[in-house]
Amino acid sequence: MSLFQLTLRNVLHRRFLSLLTVCAVAITVAFVVLLVLSRQSVEQGAKKGYGPFDLVIGAAGSETQLVLNTFYHIGAPTGNIPLAVLDEARRDPSVAAAYAMTTGDNYKGFPIVGLDAGYFFTRYGDSRLQAGTMYAHTGETIVGAYVARSLGLKVGDTFAGAHGLVQGEHHESATSETGEASGHQAEGVEGAEGAEEAGYHGENAEHAHESFRYTVAGILPELHTPDDRAVFTTVDYAWAVHGLAPEDREITAVLVKPASLLGAHDLKQGFDGSNGVQAAYTSKAVSDVLNAVDQGSRLIGLITAICVLLAGITILLSLIAAVSERTKDVGILRLLGKSRAYVWLTLTTEGLLVTATGLIAGLLVGHLGAYLLKDMLFSQAGIQIEPYQWTAEHWLIAGGALILGLLSSLGPAFRMYRMHPLALFKA
């Protein structure tokens, strides 16, 4: 009987204890794999979430809130700014491109974003639409690939938006009392403020949105950015919904692609603090968010270390139990002429076999978990986990797990190695 066959029989002989050990290793590995994939996806998604727009101009308030709402469609905007800010930004020689944005409404939980069509060509190049054409008139929309897939939208479909902020995927935002309360908390969110200025309150505001129909003119390709989960239309959609006069028209933000880093600095200095307007560095706001995520990751890392320790203890206890059960068997092997090295290898191989089985199961479960969670994370934050990604850290996880199994096996194996064969047999 070969060494591997003997080891396999020993493992199968203690099925329940071996299964518990495999599960402990698998759960630990799966947890670490999911953590690695999530962290890398968050970092990559955050960095490519704003494209070439290194600066954003919006209402005074939290820079992080402004950037998250503008580029990641998360949370509420900081408020509205005069339309004249857009013209001022475009006249600045330091600006390579500037596009206005209006927000405040949603369709079944997905944000409706008014945005100059040139934004897509500046950020994504000449990417063709998945279907249809770019919007050109008020009421025409293009929808993100994730929105189209989730809601079953196709070119030519019509729908009515809802007043208020996005509450969550497939859920209608509050359109009356709750919507207005959210608008006040955001200090002038476009939808709420526009409704009040136009004289819409409660049921009247809801009726204004229901009577305004949108038409799907096109569907975006898979962009793998937060834009996949938004509905885009012309900037003037909010003005049309609420019937705002030209002097009352405002925008939520201006997305700026500076001509140079020095130009970005000059723009920020020029716009910051003027008439309730702020200019924020996009990369800095995103870095602040990633730093906050890293602080949370440290706690998760501590939990992971505890799981690794418990997995090692489980393997150790499993092999100690094996030594107690097979003392007589090992004594017979030694009397039959098997060397101490052979006995040592049977126990270390058993530990490595159990660990390797748990490792393979953990890798599969970790990637399966990433696949199941990818849509949920994307719907909430616009960041998608790549469940099929294999990174250098995977090799570290595999090597670490096998080393853990080997180290846990050394103690029991060395104990058997040192004992005399007659002592083993008598025991």
Using one digit for the tens of pLDDT, what is the confidence trace for 238-288?
Answer: 888 878 888 888 999 999 998 877 777 878 888 777 778 888 888 888 877
Q: How confident is the model at residue 326 (pLDDT cuts 50, 70, 90)?
A: low
Strands (E), 161-318: 162-163, 213-219, 231-233, 250-251, 253-258, 277-281
Q: Which long-range CB contacts under 8 A does 73-76 form with residues at least 24 apart?
A: 73/111, 73/113, 73/166, 73/226, 73/229, 73/230, 73/382, 74/226, 74/381, 74/382, 75/165, 76/165, 76/182, 76/185, 76/186, 76/189
Q: How confident is the model at residue 38 (pLDDT cuts 50, 70, 90)?
A: confident
Q: Which residues pair with 114 in a beta bridge?
A: 102, 233
Residue 224 DSSP one-character state:
S
Cα–Cα distance for residue pair 395/407, rounded to 1 Å: 18
Write down the pLDDT at residue 409. Answer: 76
Each residue of 62-114: pLDDT tens digit? Answer: 888 898 888 888 888 888 899 888 988 898 888 899 999 998 888 988 999 99
Asked whether residue 235 carries a pLDDT value surpassing 70, the answer given is yes
Q: What is this structure's pTM?
A: 0.69
* Residue of 247 and 214 predicted with greater confidence: 214
Cα–Cα distance for residue pair 200/239, rounded to 1 Å: 13
Which helix (H) or strand (E) segment is 143 a member of?
Answer: strand 140-143
Asked whether residue 142 carries a pLDDT value surpassing 90, the answer given is yes
Write down the pLDDT at residue 405. Answer: 81
Lowest-pLDDT range of 78-87, 157-166, 201-210, 308-317 = 201-210
Write down the pLDDT at residue 251. Answer: 92
Residues with Cβ within 8 Å of 145's Cβ and at least 6 positions away in sequence, in order, are 130, 219, 220, 221, 222, 223, 228
From the list 397, 398, 404, the residue with the least C-alpha distance to 319 is 404
Exposure on the CB side of residue 116, measured as CA atoms within 13 A: 16
